[in-house]
Each structure stands twice: as C-alpha cells, then as structure tokens.
Amino acid sequence: MPELPEVETVCKYLRKYVINKTIKDVNVYELKILQNITLKEFKKNIQNQKILQITRRGKYIIFLLSFSTLISHLRMEGKYFYYSEQKFLKFHKHKMISFCFNDNDILIYSDTRKFGTIHYFLNHNFKNNNPIKKLGIEPFNTNFNELYLKKNWLKTKKAIKKSLLEQNIICGIGNIYADEILFLSKIHPLSVTNKLSLTDLKKIVLATKTILKKAIELEGTTIKSFSSFQGKFSGHFQFNLKVYHRYNQKCFNCNFLIKKIKLSNRSSFFCDHCQIQKK
DNA sequence: CAGCGTGTTGAGGA
DNA sequence: TTCCTCAACACGCT
C-alpha cells in the first residue's frame, strides 16, 4: 500500500496525535513484528520514554524516543489508530501492537496481512544500522539529480521500472508512483536503465519530485485499502493518476489504449505510444 | 474456488 | 558479479 507520500501523510497525522506523549506500556500481539529485539527487552526499555519526534526515511516511519528509536514499516496494509478509550482495542482483529500512554490514550498498529515490521534501537544511532543504513537517496534531497542517477546506474542493465523500485538507490518509490513517473517522463518501463540519456535522467528526476510532491499535498493515493490514519483519512491522488490502474483506457495525451504488462510479477501500466523504449 | 496484490527478503539458478 | 524468477509472509476481495 503505502509509498513515500502515504507514509509522509501517516507521519503527519501521527505527529498531530502522539508527539510529546510518554509511553506507559506496550502490548505486542504478534511477536513477529519485532525484528531485532526480544519482547522482554523491548517492553522493559520502552516504558516511560517520550515521543520526541516523528520523521520519515524512505517508506519507514521513525519515532525518536527519549533514549531510543522505534522504526515502523507498514508494508502493504499497516495502519495506525488513536483512541482515548481502551475499549476500542477489542474492535481491532488484526492489531499487532498497541501503545498505552501516561494519559491512558492508546495508539494501535493494525495490519490485516501482518507483514509490518518494527525495528527498535536502544539509542539514537539508527542511521548506521539496517534497515535505514541500506536506503538510497531521498527524492527531495537536492543531491538527487541526473548525475546521481548516471553514477548509480552506469552498469545497470535491468528495466528502468525495476530500477526505480530499488530502495537502495532512490528510496520511497513504489509500484504506483514508478508507473506515474515513467509516464510523465515519457519513458517506457522496459527501457534499459543504462541506455537512458542524461536528458532522460533529468526528466525522471523532475517527474519524481513533481509527482511525489503533488501526491503528498493530496495525502497519498487510495486505491484499495489505504487510509492514512484512524481508518478515515484517505488520499486523493487517485484522481490524478495518469496510467496506474488505467488498463485499456484512453491515454490522456494521445488516446491510445493504456497497456498492462507483468514485470517481476508486478503490474506495470504504460502508454505504448507516448513512452519510448530505449533498448 | 482460484487468483490477485500499493512491499520486502531470501533462495536458487542462469 | 549480476540479474532473474519464485516463494513466502496472510488476508480480504473479486
């Protein structure tokens, strides 16, 4: 579900509700959510820590606590819910973890497919550790430009669509926005990555920044199940999608029909007529 | 009932 | 090394 704009939106709402709250206790319902720490150690350490800051890196949400760091990934369907009453806990069939604050408000992480993860560090030194360590550049970083891509894609022969999804080069782009970026850049998803010209790379950079910025403004894309917070805030970027999910519909530029192919088992939508393939 | 999927990882093979 | 496909994770939806 969530790509950079959706995660950014979730962060925005989380900040609104839980900044400066102190965690009293935590309940873990699905042990597998904890990636790098035992339940015992986690529970012991997190008590009485205050949430100082909430930031995003790639598709990860980073909770900076008084003396530790909690890093959450929503994978496909993870969602946060916030309540002032404990009784709402029982309505969440797929909850993986819940936090209870000093004022007895609660934050629930719910995930129907249970793919979500939490990494927990006993300090603030998370940047030099996985999963954050392996992430590539942020799309809004000023150093993200055509020269960065040229350098990193010099030897990359795979399809450009796949390259865009590699989080260790650029982080935050997922299947939806990759298709949209390539459409706006007029580049075919099967184009060989290192055959792209500097001009093409420049187009990709510009399209990436433009699309992600717009999607953040519209609070993300709601196709199937995405809601950013409390299950009731959904995005509006779906009304701005130019190719994604538009199979067999007319291209907004040229009226040819949008095509759909499978690339690494993921759907790719594109316009065969507008998007040029470099072999 | 079978197939699908907005994400990530690892195995196995070419 | 590099790249690919497939499976796994688990569930609701079509």
- Kindly tell me if the per-residue pLDDT of A1 is higher than 70: no
Name the E strands within A78-229: 78-83, 95-101, 106-111, 117-121
Catalytic residue among A56, A59, A161, A259: A59
Please indicate whether residue A277 or residue A208 has the higher confidence score (pLDDT).
Answer: A208
Residue A35 CB in 7 A reach of strand B: no
Q: Mind giving me the DSSP string for A114-156?
A: ---EEEEESSS--TTSTTTTT--B-TTSTT-SHHHHHHHTTT-
DSSP state of A162: H
A97: phi then psi, degrees, rounded to nearest 5: -155, 150
For A81-133, the pLDDT digits (tens) are 999 989 888 889 899 999 999 999 999 999 998 999 999 999 999 998 889 99
Q: How far is CA A219 from CA A1, A6, A29, A38, A228, in A?
A: 13, 6, 29, 35, 8
Residue A131 CB in 7 A reach of strand B: yes
Q: Do domains A4-128 and A146-270 have the same CATH topology?
A: no
The kind and range of the H/E element at A65 are strand A60-65
HEC per residue, A6-42: HHHHHHHHHHHHHCCCEEEEEEECCHHHECCCCHHHH
Give catalytic status of residue A209 as yes or no. Answer: no
Q: What is the CATH number of domain A146-270?
A: 1.10.8.50
Token pair 């790098």 is found at A36
pLDDT at position A184 is: 95
For chain C, which bases have at least one atom within 7 A of a protein Cβ? 2-7, 9-12
Q: How confident is the model at residue A166 (pLDDT cuts 50, 70, 90)?
A: very high
Give the start-to-end residue ranges of the domains of chain A.
Answer: 4-128, 146-270
A162: phi then psi, degrees, rounded to nearest 5: -65, -40
Give strand letter and number of the nucleotide nearest A75 (CA to C1'). B7
**C1' of C11 to CA of A158 (Å):** 32
Q: Across the strands, what pairs with A261?
A: A268
Give catalytic status of residue A189 as yes or no. Answer: no
Give catalytic status of residue A162 as yes or no. Answer: no
Q: What is the mean pLDDT of chain A?
A: 92
For A175-202, the pLDDT digits (tens) are 999 999 999 999 999 999 999 999 999 9
The domain covering A4-128 belongs, at the CATH homologous superfamily level, to MutM-like, N-terminal (3.20.190.10)
Give strand letter and number of the nucleotide nearest A192 (CA to C1'). C3
Planar angle of CA A254, A183, A136, nearest 5 degrees: 175
Give catalytic status of residue A3 as yes or no. Answer: yes
Residue A115 CB in 7 A reach of strand B: yes
Q: How far is CA A96 from CA A23, A45, A58, A218, in A?
A: 17, 18, 22, 28
DSSP state of A258: P
Q: How confident is the model at residue A225 (pLDDT cuts 50, 70, 90)?
A: low
